[in-house]
Amino acid sequence: MRGKGSQKEARLNRLKLEIIDYVGISPGCCAADIVSFLSNEKRMRNHGLTTRKIGLFIPRYLADIIGFKLDNTTGKRIYHLTAA
């Protein structure tokens, strides 16, 4: 996200909190599950969320809070909260 506007910062912070809350509620979820939850349940449809963007967002902004392991059968990242 470019720019220094307060709305962009608020959107970024809301996205971080929603992802942390969802992964806390349902550990063992993949990026597609997170996108589905955010766009359908939380009505964040105008954010342009895709599984690829979530897969890049989590290591960039939430690496210290959310960890992942690779699923052997599908090759997908399975996200969980890390022990702090």
Span 29-84, pLDDT tens digits: 999 999 999 888 888 776 678 999 999 999 999 999 999 999 999 999 999 999 76
Specify the number of domains making up the chain. Answer: 1
CATH classification at residue 16:
1.10.10
Domain range for residue 36? Answer: 6-81
- On whether residue 20 sits in a domain, the answer given is yes
| pLDDT for 3 | 59
Both structure tokens of 7: 């709305």
Q: Is 68 in contact with 80 (CB distance < 8 Å)?
A: yes
- On whether residue 1 sits in a domain, the answer given is no
Distance of alpha carbon 39 from alpha carbon 13, whole angstroms: 16
- On whether residue 56 sits in a domain, the answer given is yes
| pLDDT for 42 | 83
Distance of alpha carbon 39 from alpha carbon 45, whole angstroms: 5
Span 37-52, pLDDT tens digits: 988 888 877 667 899 9
Whether the pLDDT of residue 1 is over 70: the answer is: no
| pLDDT for 32 | 93
